[in-house]
C-alpha cells in the first residue's frame, strides 16, 4: 500500500498498521511496511495494533 501511494503517506503524522497478529497468515510483513513508511516519511509515527 505504501509503495503504491507514497504521496499520501508522505503527508501523514501517523500510520496505523492493524491486524499485525494475522500478518503471517496473509503473507504480509509488518517490518517491511514500517521500513517503507520510514523511507517515505522519516518523522511520522507508526502504531502497530492487533485489534
Is 21 contained in some domain? yes
Is 20 contained in some domain? yes
Is 23 contained in some domain? yes
Q: What share of the chain has pLDDT > 90, as a percent?
A: 88
Is 18 contained in some domain? yes
Domain housing 29: 6-48
Q: How many Å apart are CA 10 and CA 24, to the nearest integer?
A: 27
Question: What is the total count of domains within the chain?
Answer: 1
The whole-model pTM stands at 0.84
Q: How many Å apart are CA 51 and CA 39, to the nearest integer?
A: 26
pLDDT on residue 39: 95
pLDDT band at 51 (very low <50, low <70, confident <90, very high): confident
Q: How is residue 50 written as a grid cell?
A: 492487533
Is 1 contained in some domain? no
pLDDT on residue 31: 94
Amino acid at each position: 500500500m505504501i509503495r503504491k501511494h507514497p504521496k499520501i503517506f508522505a503527508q501523514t503524522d501517523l500510520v496505523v498498521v492493524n491486524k499485525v497478529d494475522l500478518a503471517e497468515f496473509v503473507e504480509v510483513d509488518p517490518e517491511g511496511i514500517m521500513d517503507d513508511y520510514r523511507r517515505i516519511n522519516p518523522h511520522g509515527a507508526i502504531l502497530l495494533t492487533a485489534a
